[in-house]
Amino acid sequence: MISTVAAIIVGSLVAAVLAAWWFTRSVAKKVEASLPPKGQFTDVPGGRIHWIEKGEGHPVVMIHGLAGSHANFTYAMLDKLAEKGYRAIAIDRPGCGWSERDGDEQARIPNQAAMIAAWLEAEGIENALLVGHSLGGAVSLALAVSHPDRVSGLALISALVRAPEAPSDAFAGINIANPGIRKFVAHTIATPMAIRTGEKTLSIVFGPDAAPADFRTRGGGLLGLRPRAFYAAATDMHAVEKDMDSITDRIGEIEVPVGMFYGEDDLILVAPEQIAALREKLPNAVIEAVPNHGHMPLVIIPDEVTGFVQRMAEKSFR
């Protein structure tokens, strides 16, 4: 009798896992068909970079944050910067969006920076102004420290400068340290759970601002429903605790102009703490903080953020 009950329980669990796997696979296929890559691909050591560009002039390279993609910038800022006379470029960080990385080691922040530096060299892009959002800000800082010959300045947005004591509640679902468990979750329950909790997550990511209704499509949010996106985001998050302290320690070595734009009511990172961390290392850094806005000003108030990037460009392209 006991063995029969156990067999039923095991069979039910296996069926549930298979159903979740099939559902996840189906959603991923639909997402990729709806939001296919629209840019170029460049092979670099460690993987390949997907990127999209518009306009001509000095190069402005935009690097998105945790669980994001290039579409966070093509939502509004790519066009605005191109219209202002810049060669505006939005990339998918290694392993994110449509970019690829060969393994988990390439998720380490210095390695992501090295891959982007290799992409800049392969494409002949010199003296770029890096626009780094959130975790993309940390990657930009690492790139400026270790590959200064490729960078003319930094325009950071809601940037990670110092590792927080704990990750935001928005990322509780990806806080999985074990790579094996991370991969199992990515291919089974992550997608249905993300669909179920999507509204709550976006309310934190954008709060106190309201998330735009079209962010999932126009802003690339749906790309996060794929197993590879979940796994990459979880791996990226755990790279922060390994690498961020050493990056923060070296920020003072940066010699190019650096500025940072922050929404004072950010619910992902604590704005005063991140601003203070940058000022401690770079007292002359430009700081622009706006009240009543959160972590995604690049989407919510793109005109203001574009103005900030322009002001940093004027300091960087002399």
pLDDT of residue 21: 86
Give DSSP secondary structure letters for the chain: -HHHHHHHHHHHHHHHHHHHHHHHHHHHHHHHHHS---SEEEEETTEEEEEEEE--SSEEEEE--TT--THHHHTTHHHHHHHTT-EEEEEPPTTSTT-EESSGGGGSHHHHHHHHHHHHHHTT--SEEEEEETHHHHHHHHHHHH-GGGEEEEEEES---S--SS--GGGGGG----HHHHHHHHTTTHHHHHHHHHHHHHHHHHTTSPPPTTHHHHT-GGGGGSHHHHHHHHHHHHHHHHHHHHHHHHGGG--S-EEEEEETT-SSS-HHHHHHHHHHH-TT-EEEEETT--S-HHHHSHHHHHHHHHHHHHHH--
Residues of the chain under the 50 pLDDT cut: none
Over residues 141-187, the pLDDT tens digits come to: 999 999 999 999 999 999 999 999 888 888 988 999 999 999 999 99
Full-prediction pTM beyond 0.85?
yes
Domains detected in the chain = 38-164+242-316 (3.40.50.1820)
